[in-house]
């Protein structure tokens, strides 16, 4: 087992009442964006919402997580699959990585198949930047169906 990794999770404020079930299940199973930790112990050192559009909590939450020695911040998959997907996601990632020097990953649990099909029909993720953002959570159809 390699070194322990401390992560923080930031969810979309639309889902502020989410209990994190899919995120925590995928962390336990090392599915989706958490597959990268297959050989690591993982500790969650922060879990919060973005604070609502346009992300008022983005300026302060990473600093609080940094006090808890966060290594990586994950934006919850809901920011990618919600409708509309977060229009500020790339800005948030750039801001946190630039200001705090913390690695940021778009996604937690695998994209549920029902959301994948809808966004495919709508063409939501056709751009190169969205293709890059969904990669950690894209997985395969069988895994996506397990998160419906």
Residue ranges of domains in the chain: 2-146
Count of helices and strands (H, E) across the chain: 7, 4
Q: In what order do the strands lie in the sheet with 72-75?
A: 40-49, 2-11, 72-75, 103-106
Q: Looking up tokens 């959570």, which residue turns up?
A: 137
In this prediction, residue 9 carries a pLDDT of 98
| pLDDT single digits (tens) 30-79 | 999 999 999 999 999 999 999 999 999 999 999 999 999 999 999 999 99
**Scanning the structure block, which residue is given the tokens 């996604």?**
107
Bin 13: left if φ > 0, else alpha if -120 < ψ < 50, else beta.
Answer: alpha
Give dist(CA 16, CA 21) in Å, integer. 13
Classify residue 86 by its DSSP letter: P
Task: Let me know how long the chain is.
Answer: 148
pLDDT confidence band for 2 (50 / 70 / 90): confident
pLDDT > 70? residue 1: no
Contact 105, 32 (CB under 8 A): no
Please list the alpha-helical segments (H only) found in 3-88.
21-29, 61-67, 78-81
Fold of 2-146: Rossmann fold (3.40.50)
pTM of the model: 0.95
């Amino acid at each position: 087992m390699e070194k322990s990794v401390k992560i923080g999770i930031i969810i979309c404020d639309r889902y502020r009442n989410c209990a994190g079930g899919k995120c925590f299940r995928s962390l336990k199973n090392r599915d989706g964006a958490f597959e990268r930790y297959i050989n690591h112990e993982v500790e969650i050192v922060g879990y919060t919402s973005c604070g609502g559009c346009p992300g008022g909590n983005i300026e302060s939450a990473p600093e609080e997580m940094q006090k808890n020695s966060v290594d990586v911040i994950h934006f919850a998959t809901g920011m990618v699959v919600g409708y509309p997907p977060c229009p500020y996601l790339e800005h948030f990632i750039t801001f946190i990585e630039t200001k705090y020097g913390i690695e940021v990953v778009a996604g937690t649990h695998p994209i549920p198949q029902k959301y994948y099909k809808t966004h495919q029909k709508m063409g939501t993720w056709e751009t190169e930047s969205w293709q890059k953002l969904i990669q950690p959570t894209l997985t395969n159809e069988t895994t996506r169906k397990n998160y419906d």
